[in-house]
Amino acid sequence: MMSLWKLFERSVQLYHKKTALIEVNRRISFDELWEISCRMGRRLWEEAEEKKQRRVLILARNSIEEIAVFLGCFQTGLIACPVNWRHSAKELEKLLADYPDAVLLSDRKSSELMRQAGAENVLLLEEMDSAWGSGCLKRKDRLDSDRETECLVKEAVLTYGEDKCYFGNGAGPEDIAVQLFTSGSTGTPKEVGHTHGGLMAYLYTYALESRWTAEEIYQTSANLFHLSGLSIILSLLIGSTTVFFDHFDSMEFLQVMEREKSSRVSMIPTLIIRLLQDKRMQEFDFSSVKKIVYGGSPMNEHVVLQAMERFHCQMEQAYGATESCCMAILLPEDHQRAADHVQDRKILRSAGRPLPLVQVRIRQETTGDEGKKEACGEIEVKSPFLCTWDAKKGQYGTADGYHPTGDMGWVDSDGYLYLAGRKHDLIISGGENVYPKEVEDCIAGLTAVEAVCVLGMPEPCWGEMVVACVVRKENVSLSEDEVISWCRQHIAGYKKPKKVVFCDYLPENANGKVSRPLLRKYLEDYIFKK
């Protein structure tokens, strides 16, 4: 049966001595990772058989061990369910209550949180593999040795696909490989399952469109409990070397990038902005970096152009969601044509064009029908790599197989997809629809603005008022009147902010995105308090 494990085995066969993973100062080859994953798979299967449960809930920071657990699950037909380790004990307790028989796995750093959440019989990730200290992992300071350190294999032999290395029932294309959790706008965790077949279709479609090859050295700090973190797994299946971290520290990120000569680097816009503002960045050599992939949200065009000039490499934007994987890409050619004024620079504000095999439509709520091009409505998507529906909560797709993303947007005459903001972030002021992103893009055009977030706050007369929260650049003056006057010149009068609040920073959520709920609470508590 075709599965993600079979694709990983193919990478092992083709690149067996090549470095597969680099975790700051630890590294492991494809051969060694295969061996450890086999042992992890066997241990997990024994636990799952006893509990009669396929799910393995994983509360751990990014590590080589955790990735081996994912692969062990793929091998045996178990479901890897990474959980956000930033949860509070109460949130985690509520989530675990829905899976009383699941195999529970934690690293040492998260074991106390598991205990506080009332979890029992939790496996410790660092103790999962008895042969872990046998030389399988080589530290950076041993790499220059004349003699290559060999991994001692006690249980598995390097005959890929041999029955003795398999445990459990294996997996087929229709079986769920990974279950992620997304809270969306409700705060209630929703399970999102992706099948082996769906992720394989996604791998080939995305890798082809993004020109991702085995020769890449890929670097990311994305967490494995997010869709973006699964790029670590996709990199292994492609056969490229992956450099990853368990957190983002700008200096460490740059030092490792320079040392490992990373060629493909993935970052969310917040991190790119952080690097652009860090004067120490000028001390590092970016010559190995061929492409920076950013996602999570479109980046302001002025920041994109600044990044292209500073990094001297290709830029590529990936737009996606937990339920749908990547849906659209703004390619390096698009960025370059816009920078060279060959194409209208407005495309830098877009999310690019849909991937092959992805169908996108815009549904307008006024009629309930598919909207015409350039008409704003909810973005719905259909593809072979959509998630499986949540059986416990019913189907949350449309009758004809489209998934409502919750994002509002439109498609222009050239097929570029533009985002207007989240559906629940829409501001209705005096009966008029105001999309926060349009106002944010306008305000970001002011050179004195470092960051901006726009949201609606209750207002007796108009229903909601447009409020702009602005972070000024260091040692630069900017007044509320100047912001409002600028907006009056560039957007419709009803869209301009009625109030501008200057902040030292904008709060972020676990994804590194600006947290509107936290910002709204700040406004309610300190600015609009009754």
The residue among 41, 216, 67, 240 whose CA lies nearest residue 137 is 67
Looking at residue 115, its amino acid is R
The residue among 249, 181, 242 whose CA lies nearest residue 19 is 242
**By three-state DSSP, how is residue 195 classified?**
strand
What are the C-alpha distances in Å from 146 to residues 142, 149, 166? 9, 9, 35
Looking at residue 204, its amino acid is Y
DSSP letter for 512, please: S
Q: Please give the helix or strand (H or E) that residue 521 lies within, else none.
A: helix 516-522
**By three-state DSSP, how is residue 515 classified?**
coil
Q: What is the per-residue DSSP string for 482-501? A: HHHHHHHHHS-GGGS-SEEE
Q: What is the per-residue DSSP string for 267-302? A: E-HHHHHHHHH-GGGGGS--TT--EEEEESSPPPHH
Q: What is the per-residue DSSP string for 64-131? A: HHHHHHHHHHHHHT-EEEE--TT--HHHHHHHHHT-TTSEEEE-HHHHHHHHHTT--SPEEGGGS-TT
Edge-to-edge strands, sheet with 325-330: 138-139, 26-29, 19-23, 241-244, 217-220, 264-267, 291-295, 314-321, 325-330, 353-354
**By three-state DSSP, how is residue 410 classified?**
strand
Give the integer Cα–Cα distance in Å for 380 and 407: 8
Question: pLDDT 10s digit of each residue in the chain, 530 long?
Answer: 689 999 999 999 999 999 999 999 999 999 999 999 999 999 999 999 888 889 999 999 999 999 999 999 999 999 999 999 988 898 899 999 999 999 999 999 999 999 999 999 999 999 886 544 433 444 333 333 333 333 333 333 344 444 445 555 678 899 999 999 986 544 566 889 999 999 999 999 999 999 999 999 999 999 999 999 999 999 999 999 999 999 888 899 999 999 999 999 998 887 888 888 888 888 899 999 999 999 876 678 888 999 999 999 999 999 998 899 999 999 999 999 999 999 999 999 999 999 999 999 999 865 444 555 568 899 999 999 999 865 444 455 677 889 999 899 999 999 999 998 888 888 988 888 898 988 999 999 999 999 999 999 998 888 899 999 999 999 999 999 999 999 999 999 999 999 999 999 999 876 667 888 899 999 999 888 75
The residue among 379, 387, 382 whose CA lies nearest residue 401 is 382
The residue among 7, 55, 437 whose CA lies nearest residue 235 is 7
300, 442 contact by CB (below 8 A): no
The residue among 199, 515, 512 whose CA lies nearest residue 326 is 199
Both tokens of residue 97? Answer: 């209550």
DSSP letter for 225, please: T
Side-chain half-sphere of 196: how many Cα atoms within 13 Å?
Answer: 23
The residue among 117, 123, 92, 89 whose CA lies nearest residue 105 is 123
Give the integer Cα–Cα distance in Å for 229 and 67: 11
Count, residues in the chain? 530
114-152 burial, b for 16+ CB within 10 Å, e for fewer? beebebeebbebeebbebbebebbbeeeeeeeeeeeebe
**By three-state DSSP, how is residue 5 classified?**
helix
* Angle 221-299-343 from CA coordinates, rounded to 5°: 130
Residue 3, Cβ density class (10 Å: 0-12 exposed, 13-18 middle, ≥19 buried): buried
> According to the model, what pLDDT value does residue 511 have?
62
Both tokens of residue 172? Answer: 């087929």
Collect all residues with Cβ–Cβ distance below 8 Å to 56 and sequence separation of at least 6: 44, 48, 69, 73, 78, 79, 80, 81, 102, 103, 105
Looking at residue 295, its amino acid is G
Give the integer Cα–Cα distance in Å for 390 and 96: 17
> According to the model, what pLDDT value does residue 183 have?
60
315, β-bridge pairs? 292
86, 246 contact by CB (below 8 A): no
Give the integer Cα–Cα distance in Å for 360 and 240: 30
Residue 109, Cβ density class (10 Å: 0-12 exposed, 13-18 middle, ≥19 buried): middle
- What totals of helices (H) and strands (E) does the chain contain, helices first? 14, 25
> According to the model, what pLDDT value does residue 473 have?
92
Both tokens of residue 217? Answer: 């050295």
Determine how β-strand 79-82 pairs with β-strand 103-106: unpaired
> According to the model, what pLDDT value does residue 20 have?
98
